Chains A and B, each alone.
Chain A
Amino acid sequence: MRDFSEPPIYDDLIETDRVHRTLYTDEAIFREEMNRIYGGTWTYLAHESELPKANDFVRRTLGLRPIIVSRDRDGKVHGLLNRCPHRGATVCRDDAGSTRRFTCPYHNWSFTNSGDLVGVPIEEGYGPNFDKSRLGLGKIRVEVYRGFIFGTLNHELPDLETHLGTAARRLDEWMDRWPGGKISVRNGQHRLMCNGNWKLVSDNSHDGYHPGYSHASLLRMRKDRYGGGVDMQWVLGNVDDGLQRLYDLGNGNTFLDQRPEIERYWYQSAPMPGEDSYAATLRERLGERAEPALDVVMGSGMNLNIFPNLLIIGNQLQVIQPRTVDSTDLIWYSTSIEADDLPPEVNALRMRLQEDFPSFGEPDDLANFEECQAGLSIPEMEWVVTSRHMDTGTEYVDGNGDLAGLPTDELGIRAFWKEWLIRMNATTKLEAK
């Protein structure tokens, strides 16, 4: 067994075909991750539609750091560390709202919504050399890609779109299912708590191997009640003989594409309340034009994973929010599509559909993650296998130049650890400025 009385050398924990269990269980590693991974690379913070107007804000975290994502009076988006420069109290204590000033409740220092210190009670007490311009809220480097707000404390990273690379193109495909439509993230969310390390969640999101087994309950319920052909039946049997593919998009981003298995979205969708009533309404009103509208009810058939915390699954944004080394919050933000030519019934159906997987799919995964966490506590069993399809000769480079493989390939997990190691070993100073 390895001796970890010394600080761990991360390279020793990640081998080409396996990774060490302590990556999931060690508290010191977790604390470093929260600083180096979250904030050391472009990290998803919020969606622009959550703060639609000037002066709107939402409260979030970057790793474990409390932060604010705000719009200033001109509508520009800012990422601010939620920490008064004076004595450390958080200055924003609401989950969301609209304000021109954040005022610290402790001594009433007040800040603009772009982070500048503008008010200090009885200021003369700090003497003549007091410089308010040096005491603003810590500022996160923020960029927006088509509504998705990312932030980092790494000032050496390239711009967001360059960093996303082909992941940005896949994000385009996800957003452009209804041409001209805008994605809105203002329709509530599921918040699921899991007593497991956050990386168990991301491992699973590029794992095309587990669905036929971990989701046996969902698949069996559907088949027993509705017969074949409904949602996700393509994950049964040897999925490597099927049409799904998995891609390494670079910088830790990955993509499990289920779309080639979908012939007609509406007919292969999971069941949802209102399905028959609204389909009848739309077909009566729109005739054949109802069909493409019904198709965008169904999930996208995409698992697009943006390192380290954004997993776009179906129609939802699943955000990973680590709490401790062995507990994680998963927030499944539901989405709707805003478009003048999209019938509103589609979004009512999308709400019901987006309750399906958090009810009948995700809970079984979370139960399995928690049992992984329990098993990984055993010191004598040191390693986790990540070698699937590494040397079966099935990987290839696709037309975009991305490494691709069969759906059960563990290339997504290997891509994740490659990026993880780069970020953990990076010597770049992370700064709020």
Chain B
Amino acid sequence: MKPVIVKQTKAFLKVLALAVPLILSAGAPASATPEDAGAVAHDSATVTAEASGAHAEAAAAPGAESGHSEKPGDVIMHHILDSNVFAFEPFGEVELPKIVVGGFDISITKHVVMMWLAAAIVLIVFGAVGSRYAKMTPKDAPKGLANAMEALVDFIRLDVAKSNIGPGYEKHLPYLLTVFFFILLCNVLGLVPYGATATGNVNVTLTLAVFTFFITQVASLKAHGIKGYAAHLTAGTHWSLWIIMIPIEIIGLFTKPFALTVRLFANMTAGHIVILSLIFISFILKSYIVAVAVSVPFSIFIYLLEIFVAFLQAFIFTMLSALFIGLATAHEGHDEHEAEVAHH
């Protein structure tokens, strides 16, 4: 059994090795090693030199303030990655404090500020809506903001929680609602000028997925007990197959949060990369016609698509969390029921 696990952990580590550079570069934007920065500059220089000789000047136009030439790739990465500087382009920038405790960098970065903003908006909106509901008599209908929020909350309650988790869904409703509105606000705040997409950071999405993972496991343990939980790991197969089934089931536990992580992160990052790439087409080709005919209309189209994606991804994350909780709690009961039916 051990070699199998070792092999699979090795495969998992390889996947991690792909993700780690991104995570690291998100954590330490300013302190990239000089060789890396040199290699990036060199690579893009050789490729772009063939396309157009005067490319560097074209690319430098948006970053003219900084004085040195920047490649489109650098500008895109600068926009996507986390940093300690909150830039308000024509008006200057705000330095955020750098805090390091015991070797861990816990400084307040751009994405942390955006997360706090999202959390504050959620608190204020739902505080106001909640106090209005507390004052209402059963005869009153909610008005304005409370009415709008009721539609969303009811949608999550009925279409997401109740239909996926089934009986006992009320217990998980607070988490699902919180995670939905938090992700939604993080996504939407990323589309606001000067904003940054906190959910376009692997660390944020991984943390949210870890919450879902622990809630799923605890719900599963509570629903089946330790014995039922262990039995679930063998997938009800003959003992001779356990050597294969147990590692697969354990890997299966971890692929769900991993998929949640990468889905949200990649979706939120991809939109920004596409918009910036479309804008940079006009700078690379140095043409007003391309700017008017391609860059502006297409980036507006992608921007509108991004608004839809912001809602869709918040919904998908909540929906899949509810689905995983539902699978973890209801699956075994269903089997027992079938066994009973077979017995009779």
Q: Do A and B bind each other?
A: no
Contacts from A to B (Cβ < 8 Å): none
